[in-house]
Structure 1
Amino acid sequence: MAALEKRFKPEQIVNLLRGIEVMMANGKTLMEACKQVGISDKSYYRWRKIYGGLKVDQARKFKEIEAENARLKKLIAELSLREAMLKEVVKGNY
Structure 2
Amino acid sequence: MKRIRFTEEQIIGVLKEAEAGAKTADLARKHGVSEATLYNWKAKYGGLEVSEAKRLRALEDENGRLKRLLADAMLDNAGLKDLLSKKW
Q: TM-score, normalised by structure 1?
A: 0.83
Tell me the residue number matched to 2:46: 52
Separation (CA, whole Å) in 2 of partners of 1:4 and 1:89: 50
Separation (CA, whole Å) in 1 of partners of 2:63 and 2:4: 24
Tell which has more relative contact order, 1 or 2 (C-alpha 8 A, sep 6+).
1
* Count of aligned residue pairs for this structure pair: 87
The answer as to whether partners of 1:34 and 1:41 remain within 8 angstroms in 2 is yes
Aligned-pair distance for 1:23? Answer: 5.0
Letter in 1 for 2:68: K
Tell me the residue number matched to 1:12: 10
Over the matched positions of the two proteins, sequence identity in percent amounts to 33
Q: Superposed, which structure 2 residues align to 1:37-48 within 5 Å?
A: 37-48=31-42
Separation (CA, whole Å) in 2 of partners of 1:18 and 1:39: 16
Separation (CA, whole Å) in 1 of partners of 2:7 and 2:37: 14
Q: Structure 1: which 4+ aligned runs deviate by more than 3 Å?
A: none
What SS class does the counterpart of residue 65 from structure 1 fall into? Answer: helix
Q: More displaced, 13-22 or 61-70?
A: 13-22
Residue 65 of structure 2 is aligned with which of 56, 61, 71? 71
What SS class does the counterpart of residue 20 from structure 2 fall into? Answer: helix
Aligned-pair distance for 1:12? Answer: 1.7
CA RMSD of aligned residues (A): 1.5
Separation (CA, whole Å) in 2 of partners of 1:18 and 1:84: 49
The answer as to whether partners of 1:14 and 1:56 remain within 8 angstroms in 2 is yes
Q: TM-score, normalised by structure 2?
A: 0.88
